[in-house]
Structure 1
């Protein structure tokens, strides 16, 4: 009798737990798309480290090559009419320091006046120093020597060298070119103007005034 009761209990227990077992099997064999969604940790690839490209600083002034410190340019002028005045002055400069430029130039001037009957040619050269006191303001010292035509008591239309020590300033606008760094609007004063006379007391300066104005590319 006890054996029959035990057998009956075993059968009933099997019937009760069999749905649960089948449910677990179904869950196990169910496709992934039908399973209960689970939060999966996706492995993220390591973030690429971007190399910070630092701007290469400008080379120290003393380390700049010779050609990067050279300036080339000059000034020119043209006036036609009753008075013809042609002026051509090529120049070359070199940056001695970050603020100081030294250089030389040559000048050729042709002057003709129909009214006074002048027909003259002047030529010469000059040396200069240009110091930047502000980013766009420079002080300029210049010594120019010019060969001019002059009348003397003994001979007309002879030639003579005159020296012009000049001092002034310029306002500069950068151009950014390789050799022509800026255009300079220059005003100079000739300290020797009143002494540049011929034997008759006539002034022989080619500029006609102690003030010299130029537009120079350098």
Structure 2
């Protein structure tokens, strides 16, 4: 009986020791620190003579306290009533121009000044530099003496550079107001340069 009891105690002890060994194993470190992942983008819509819906989600990774590279996707629906003059009949007509714009982007932001209050004594958040290369697919239209006609879908490159202010809302969330210029300025681009952007990030 004592031998059976000793064997039972030995088995239980070995199981407890093995369980403790398993618990003390160091946790594997993941390659990505999810606390450094930043998600944001801009959203815009308008109605009236010009109908516009824009959604551009972006995701970045904070490599340092100041530098955040990232990628994004772009989608925009645009509709506008355009007037054209028929040179043959003299009539003025309306043409309903509408298009779907989509594409992707590579971007980066760098914090130049972390707290502008230390310089100007105003609560202006931080000063950031911003750059973005985007390639978008757009419908192109040409005007003839008798109206507009589509010349098909084409890819257009944009290279944005500028900066602005970044206002923290909490430890992770923020609001950015940017002024950026397109250094390429392709005539087929639907965007004005300079362009103003308002975005939210978490």
Provide the TM-score with structure 2 as the length reference: 0.66
Aligned Cα root-mean-square deviation (Å)? 2.0
Unaligned stretches of 5+ residues in structure 1: 1-64, 198-203
SS of residue paired to 1:68:
helix
The 2-side partners of 1:84 and 1:177 are apart by 36
The 2-side partners of 1:89 and 1:156 are apart by 26
Equivalent of residue 127 in structure 1, options 95, 106, 114: 106
SS of residue paired to 1:115:
strand
How big is the shift at 1:177? Answer: 5.4
SS of residue paired to 2:34:
helix
Partner residue, 1:210: 193
Partner residue, 1:98: 65
Partner residue, 2:21: none
Larger radius of gyration: 1
How big is the shift at 1:156? Answer: 2.5
Question: Residues 76-134 of structure 1: CA distance to partner in whole angstroms, max 9, x if unpaired?
Answer: 11110010011101110110111000111111001100235211110011111100011
- After TM superposition, which residue ranges in structure 1, 4 or more long, deviate above 3 angstroms? none
The 1-side partners of 2:40 and 2:193 are apart by 24
Equivalent of residue 185 in structure 1, options 177, 181, 196: 177
Q: Matched residue pairs, number?
A: 143
Partner residue, 1:171: 165
Question: Residues 170-189 of structure 1: CA distance to partner in whole angstroms, max 9, x if unpaired?
Answer: 201102254xx311001100
Unaligned stretches of 5+ residues in structure 2: 1-31, 84-95, 115-125, 144-148
SS of residue paired to 1:81:
coil
Aligned pair 1:68/2:52, yes or no? Answer: no
